[in-house]
Every structure is written in structure tokens, then in C-alpha cells.
């Protein structure tokens, strides 16, 4: 059963040994090396099923969520050169590591939190800067990179399209006048 003692259910919730903590810390350091963004969320009130759904949605966006103790995460952040105080963050803390597009992972977390109503963005680390939850929520409302590129292309193409319409209008007018002359 994967190390869970059915006779003593408390053994599942026992404190971690020093080697287990070191193993978790090493895993956190590896994730911190690869991450492009880091978001801290309060998942209090979410069930296991909801957390698993969120994890699978994040995996599709090249991100990973890990529930972790503040002290272990603080130590790993400090060793990575990120001076961030996690003590004021309230609730049950989970870290979302974005390895791909940071905005896609942030949008996924925000959308899930809005739908579930129980997931709050507390703070994060994006593009080398520490940000609060309100700032990250505003950033998550921005259009995606693909949408912005599409808008840029549309904006750049609009004058050309208009110019082509004007030129075609003159040619259509000329053709119409010539057709009228030919009928006479």
C-alpha cells in the first residue's frame, strides 16, 4: 500500500524525517532552476479531486503544483537567491512552478480559482520580481501571447487592407464607367 499503515492511520501524517526533508528540498531546488514563474496559492477548502484536476490542467500548460511547508520552501528559495518572506502568507500553501509559458500557467490557476471559489493567489515571483496576489491576478487577465500577436498583425494589416479597398474602389469605378460606355 505504498508505506501507509492501515492499522495506524496517523502514521500517514507523521512528521517527515530529515532525509525526507532533504529530498523534498533537493526537488524544490531542481524545480526552481527550471521555473520561469513561481506562484503561491492558498488551496484551503479544495478537495483531493479538485487538486488532482488542477494538477492535470497545469501539466497541460507545462506547470506543476506542489504542496510544501513554508520552511522548506523558504530554505530552497534562499539557496536559489530569492529573498522572499513566506511567513505572512496565510492558509495552506502550494507552489505552482511554471516551466513553459508563465502567463498560461497563471491564467490556468486564476481561472480554476475563480471557478472553484476556494483557490487564492497569494504572491509569486515573475520575471525576476516578487509580486503580490492582486498584481498577479491583474496580469492573469491580460490576453495570451498568441492573442496579442494576432492583434498586432491585425493592427499592422488594417492600413494595407484599407488602402487596397480604396484602390479597388477606383478600379471598380473605372470598370463600371467603361461598361456603361460600352452599352451606349
In the chain (184 residues long), the average pLDDT of successive 10-residue segments reads 44 68 83 87 88 91 88 84 80 88 88 85 86 88 83 86 79 84 84
**CA 83 remoteness from chain centre:** 21
| Residue 146 φ then ψ, to 5° | -65, -40
Q: What pLDDT score does 14 carry?
A: 61
Q: What pLDDT score does 155 carry?
A: 87
Q: What pLDDT score does 101 carry?
A: 86
Q: What pLDDT score does 13 carry?
A: 53
DSSP 8-state class, residue 117: S
Q: What pLDDT score does 145 carry?
A: 77
Q: What pLDDT score does 60 carry?
A: 92
Phi-psi region of 3 (alpha: psi -120 to 50; beta: other; left: phi over 0): left
- Count of CB atoms situated within 10 Å of the CB of 25: 17
Superfamily designation of domain 9-142: Ribosomal protein L10, N-terminal RNA-binding domain (3.30.70.1730)
C-alpha cell at 31: 524545480
Q: What pLDDT score does 165 carry?
A: 79
Amino acid at each position: 500500500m505504498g508505506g501507509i499503515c492501515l492499522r495506524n492511520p496517523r502514521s500517514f501524517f507523521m512528521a517527515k524525517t530529515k532525509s525526507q526533508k532533504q529530498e523534498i528540498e533537493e526537488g524544490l531546488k531542481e524545480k526552481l532552476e527550471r521555473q520561469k514563474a513561481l506562484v503561491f496559492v492558498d488551496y484551503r477548502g479544495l478537495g483531493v479531486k479538485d487538486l488532482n484536476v488542477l494538477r492535470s490542467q497545469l501539466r497541460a500548460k507545462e506547470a506543476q503544483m506542489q504542496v510544501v511547508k513554508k520552511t522548506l520552501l523558504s530554505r530552497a528559495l534562499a539557496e536559489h537567491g530569492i529573498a522572499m518572506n513566506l511567513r505572512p502568507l496565510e492558509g495552506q500553501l502550494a507552489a505552482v512552478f511554471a516551466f513553459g509559458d508563465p502567463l498560461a500557467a497563471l491564467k490556468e490557476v486564476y481561472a480554476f480559482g475563480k471557478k472553484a471559489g476556494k483557490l487564492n493567489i497569494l504572491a509569486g515571483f515573475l520575471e525576476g520580481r516578487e509580486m503580490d496576489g492582486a498584481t498577479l491576478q491583474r496580469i492573469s487577465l491580460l490576453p495570451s501571447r498568441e492573442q496579442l500577436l494576432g492583434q498586432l498583425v491585425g493592427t499592422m494589416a488594417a492600413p494595407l487592407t484599407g488602402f487596397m479597398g480604396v484602390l479597388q474602389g477606383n478600379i471598380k469605378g473605372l470598370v463600371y464607367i467603361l461598361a456603361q460606355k460600352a452599352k451606349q
